[in-house]
Amino acid sequence: MDMNEKLAKLRKAKGLTQKELAETLHVSRQAISRWEVGTAAPSLDNLAYLSQLYGVPLEQCAAVGDSGNDLEALRAVGMPIAMGNASQAVKDAALRVVSSNRKEGAAQAVLSCLE
């Protein structure tokens, strides 16, 4: 099960609608929808809140990054993953480095978490 599917499953298990969760996080319902279909990912602050709400420690979460603005999230999770096209600082912060965006690196990142 991919992260987006887990987010939807956990939300439903809590009995929350996308709208209710969005109001709690101060984001749009569309943002929740994008997280749950896998076209976007929650920010670190939102991921931390979801982690608490759903009882999933950040140490059991993964983050994927390719630039300096991703470092905070990479340092907060248990499985930091750098894209192949990432800056050296991001690669140094990661436990895994996958291919670049152009070479299906995002898919590799997700699949590596399922191994």
User: CA–CA separation, 13 vs 78, rounded Å?
Assistant: 24
Residues 49 and 12 in one domain: yes
Residues 73 and 97 in one domain: yes
92 Cβ contact partners less than 8 Å away, ≥ 6 residues apart: none
CATH number at residue 42: 1.10.260.40
Sign of the four-CA dihedral 76, 111, 95, 89: negative
Residues 81 and 104 in one domain: yes
Residues 38 and 25 in one domain: yes
Could you tell me the residue range of the domain that residue 104 belongs to? 59-114
Number of structural domains (the chain) is 2
| Pairing, β 96-97 against β 62-65 | unpaired
Considering only CA atoms, give the Rg of the chain: 14
Tokens of 45: 């602050």
Q: Note if the pTM is more than 0.85.
A: no
Digit-by-digit pLDDT tens for the chain (115 residues) are 677 788 899 999 999 999 999 999 999 999 999 989 878 878 888 988 999 999 989 888 888 889 888 888 899 899 999 999 999 999 999 999 999 988 988 888 888 887 7
